[in-house]
């Protein structure tokens, strides 16, 4: 697409990146066919092609209004459009730039700014988030339904560290003696409070394969929350903090950085891109991104017979509907891997219609766009539950809790299925 950027952005790194992306779009509109918001609203400006056009106008210096912001806000950043696009348009990178610019050129009302600042602060502090979650849980029945549904019905209290997990059971004690390999794991910001059992299960499963999974104490939020709420400088600060926390382990030979939440994995795999202009961190960020693996990518390459889940306990639910998070299938372009692992382990993976579509969770989207988010969740759950699964499995904490809040069927992280045996 022919593009002539305005003076305020033309000679900046953002401008050069945006211009290259805009030029790669041929305006064919194929992407609209798989865009969730276009499917729901049927408005060109709520599809990727229309949003790209809005961003082009903005970056060319045309007036930016609340309407521009509204259509960019309604985007889930699911990146389904990237998977569909035949021209390789990097929409996810463009919308990050577009959101940063629109925030500066058309500031939000104070109430919206306050809510976003509160989300960034509250979600990224595991201690604060955990305390708020416990408080909310204790008065759950008194809360308005809009707030109540963001709280899981029960919060597991058995959060384990690697060492306590390994030391707690005879099997694990036996396994700990044979942990000859070491990988890092990101605890993240929300998952430790919402679903501590996920990383505990990952540790037990990997320990049975001889892999010691360790968390660096000073690592925290991957930066995705800031990045998607148009705070790129704060996002980069989080990335640098994590790199500093992981670097000593990498120097000691940790062979991978394992992500148990695909939303975090999608972001950490792009640290190299985000910090490419930072002389002090560019090389380290590229190395970190290169070492980052979704948990499924680690298990795909291992001999899983040691897990002994192939002859499943008759009481173990076997009929599974799997929801592949957008951050896995579109963001990381990892598709079919978890389904393959679960099938090899003896589970029956039920067909799910529209499995390419977002469930409506999308980070903070379910809070900021509750109506669209709710419509997408209802559509997703209808498809997931259509063939009578015993369990729904997913690979991202956001999708897991969002779906669980309205599902008739329990929703779990897929690694817990391999942990059951
Ligand atoms: S983003 Fe891709 S699919 Fe969409 S209009 Fe542009 S070239 Fe076509
Ligand atoms: S990221 Fe998702 S919601 Fe946004 S334009 Fe692309 S397909 Fe549509």
3-state SS class at 173: helix
| Nearest ligand by distance to the CA of 47 | 2
From 23, 31, 33, mutation site for ligand 1 pocket: most ligand atoms within 8 A of C-beta: 31
Query: Could you tell me the distance, in angstroms and rounded to a whole number, from the CA of residue 82 to the centre of ligand 2?
Result: 8
pLDDT at 2 (0 to 100)? 84
Nearest to 123 by CA among 229, 207, 3: 229
Centroid of ligand 2 to alpha carbon of 209 (angstroms): 38
For residue 77 the two structure tokens come to 């950043």
Under 8 Å between Cβ of 257 and 251: no
Tokens 């799910």: give the residue. Answer: 352
1-5, 6-10, 257-261, 384-388: range with lowest mean pLDDT: 1-5
- Residue 154 within any structural domain of the chain: no
Q: What's the gap in Å between 45 CA and the centre of ligand 1?
A: 14
| C-alpha to C-alpha distance for 347 and 366, rounded to whole angstroms | 31
Flag whether 1 is in a domain: no
Q: Determine the Cα–Cα distance for residues 202 and 419; give it in Å rounded to an integer.
A: 8
The CA dihedral of 304, 306, 307, 312, to the nearest 10 degrees, is: 100
According to DSSP, the β-strands at 257-259 and 292-294 are parallel
Taking a C-beta distance cutoff of 8 angstroms, is the pair 363, 398 a contact? yes
CATH number, domain with residue 353: 3.40.50.1860
Final residue of a structural domain among 300, 331, 356: 300
Which residue(s) pair with 393 in the sheet?
A: 322, 412
Q: Name the residue with the closest Cα to ligand 1, atom 2.
A: 85
What is the atom index within ligand 1 of the atom nearest the CA of 26? 7
Task: Identify whether residues 276 and 331 lie together within a single domain.
Answer: no
In this structure, the answer to whether residues 175 and 292 fall within a common structural domain is: yes
Cα atoms found within 13 Å of the Cα of residue 35, Cβ hemisphere only = 26
- Domain boundary pick from 300, 335, 369: 300
Q: What number is the average pLDDT over the span 146-152?
A: 61
Identify the pLDDT of residue 314: 77
Q: Does any domain span residue 153? A: no
Residue 230 half-sphere exposure toward CB, CA atoms < 13 A: 20
Q: How far is the CA of 302 from the centre of ligand 1 (A)?
A: 38
* Position 163 confidence tier, pLDDT thresholds 50, 70, 90: very low
Atom of ligand 1 nearest to the CA of 88: 2
Whole-model pTM: value is 0.89
d(CA 62, CA 316): 59
The answer to whether the CB of 78 falls within 8 A of the CB of 362 is yes
pLDDT at 240: 98
Question: What value does the mean pLDDT of the chain take?
Answer: 89
Q: 269 and 311: one domain?
A: no
Considering only residues 23 and 126, tell me which one the structure prediction assigns the higher pLDDT. Answer: 23
- Distance, in Å, from the CA atom of 322 to the CA atom of 349, rounded to the nearest integer, reads 7
Residue 139 and residue 15 share a domain: no
Q: Do 271 and 344 fall within a single domain?
A: no
State how many domains the chain has. 4
Would you say 95 and 51 are in contact if contact means Cβ atoms under 8 Å apart? yes
229 located within any domain: yes
At residue 159, the pLDDT reads 38
Q: How many CB atoms lie within 10 A of CB 293?
A: 22
C-alpha of residue 80 to centroid of ligand 1, in Å: 11
Instruction: Give the pLDDT confidence of 77-136 residue by residue, as tens digits.
Output: 999 999 999 999 999 999 999 999 999 999 899 999 999 988 888 887 766 666 666 656
Q: For 333, phi and psi rounded to 5 degrees?
A: 55, 35
Whether the pLDDT of residue 356 is over 70: the answer is yes
Does some domain include residue 408?
yes
**Does residue 2 lie within any of the structural domains?**
no
Query: Do 322 and 342 touch, CB atoms closer than 8 A?
Result: yes
Within 6 A (CB) of ligand 1 lie 25-31, 48-49, 52, 81, 85, 87, 89
Residue 21, classed as helix, strand or coil, is helix
Our measurement of the distance from residue 83's CA atom to the centroid of its chain's CA atoms, rounded to an integer in Å, reads 16
Distance 49 CA to ligand 1 centre (A): 6
Q: Determine the distance separating the centroid of ligand 2 and the alpha carbon of 10, expressed in angstroms.
A: 25
- Mark which of 148, 174, 206 sits at the end of a domain: 148
Ligand nearest to the CA of 376: 2
Same structural domain for residues 177 and 286?
A: yes
Tokens for 111, please give them.
């109430």
Q: What is the pLDDT of residues 181-229, one digit of tens each?
A: 999 999 988 787 888 999 999 999 999 999 999 999 999 999 999 998 9
| Residue 240 domain-assigned (yes or no) | yes
- Cα 241 to Cα 75, 89, 133, 237, 336: the distances in Å are 28, 30, 25, 6, 32
Mutational pocket test of ligand 1: of 87, 90, 98, the residue with most ligand atoms within 8 Å of the beta carbon: 87
Q: In this model, does residue 171 exceed pLDDT 60?
A: no
Which of 81, 358, 363 is the best mutation target for the ligand 2 pocket, counting ligand atoms within 8 Å of the beta carbon and taking the most?
Answer: 81
The count of residues in the chain is 421
387 versus 149: which is more confidently predicted?
Answer: 387
Q: Tell me the residue range of the domain where 188 lies.
A: 162-300
Q: Residues 203, 143: one domain?
A: no
Q: What is the pLDDT of residue 194?
A: 86
Domain shared by 199 and 117, yes or no: no
Return the residue whose CA atom lies nearest to atom 8 of ligand 1: 28
Shared-domain flag, residues 229 and 169: yes
Pocket of ligand 2 (CB under 6 A): 35-37, 48, 51, 75-81, 91
- pLDDT surpasses 50 at 350: yes
The answer to whether position 157 is within a domain reads: no
Residues 202 and 133 in one domain: no
pLDDT, position 189: 82
Please tell me whether residues 42 and 122 are part of one structural domain: no
Please choose, from the candidates 89, 291, 274, 33, the residue with its C-alpha nearest in 3D space to the C-alpha of residue 185: 291
If asked whether residues 318 and 416 sit together in one domain, one would say: yes
- Whether 223 and 170 have beta carbons less than 8 Å apart is answered as no
Domain with 92 in it: what CATH number? 1.10.1060.10
pLDDT, mean of residues 57-83: 96
């Amino acid at each position: 697409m022919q593009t002539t950027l305005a003076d305020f952005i033309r000679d900046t790194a953002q401008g050069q990146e945006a211009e290259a992306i805009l030029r790669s779009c041929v305006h064919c509109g194929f992407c609209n066919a798989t865009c969730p918001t276009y499917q729901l609203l049927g408005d060109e400006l709520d599809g990727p092609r229309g949003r790209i056009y809005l961003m082009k106008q903005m970056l060319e210096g045309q007036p930016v209004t609340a309407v521009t912001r509204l259509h960019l806000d309604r985007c889930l950043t699911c990146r389904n459009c990237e998977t569909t696009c035949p021209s390789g348009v990097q929409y996810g990178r463009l919308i990050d730039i577009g959101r940063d610019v629109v925030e500066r050129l058309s500031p939000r009302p104070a109430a919206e700014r306050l809510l976003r600042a509160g989300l960034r602060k509250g979600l990224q502090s595991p201690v604060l988030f955990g305390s708020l979650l416990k408080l909310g849980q204790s008065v759950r029945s008194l809360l308005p339904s809009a707030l109540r549904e963001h709280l899981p019905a029960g919060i597991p209290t058995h959060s384990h560290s690697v060492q306590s997990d390994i030391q707690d059971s005879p099997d694990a004690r036996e396994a700990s003696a044979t942990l000859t390999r070491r990988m890092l794991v990101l605890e993240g910001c929300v998952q430790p409070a919402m679903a501590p059992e996920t990383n505990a299960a990952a540790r037990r499963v990997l320990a049975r394969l001889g892999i010691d999974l360790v968390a660096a104490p000073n690592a925290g939020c991957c930066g995705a929350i800031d990045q998607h709420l148009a705070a790129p400088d704060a996002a980069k600060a989080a990335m640098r903090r994590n790199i500093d926390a992981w670097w000593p382990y990498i120097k000691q030979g940790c062979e991978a950085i394992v992500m148990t939440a695909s939303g975090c994995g999608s972001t950490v795999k792009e640290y190299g891109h985000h910090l490419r202009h930072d002389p002090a961190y560019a090389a380290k960020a590229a190395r970190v991104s290169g070492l980052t693996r979704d948990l499924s990518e680690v298990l795909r390459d291992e001999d899983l017979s040691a897990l002994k889940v192939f002859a499943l306990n008759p009481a173990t639910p076997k009929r599974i509907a799997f929801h592949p998070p957008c951050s896995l299938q579109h963001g990381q372009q990892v598709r079919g891997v978890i389904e393959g692992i679960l099938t090899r382990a003896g589970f029956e993976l039920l067909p799910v219609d529209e499995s390419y579509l977002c469930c409506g969770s999308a980070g903070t989207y379910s809070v900021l766009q509750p109506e669209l988010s709710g419509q997408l969740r209802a559509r997703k759950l209808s498809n997931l539950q259509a063939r009578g699964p015993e369990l729904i499995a997913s690979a991202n904490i956001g999708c897991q809790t969002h779906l669980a809040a309205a599902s008739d069927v329990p929703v779990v992280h897929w690694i817990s299925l391999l942990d059951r045996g």
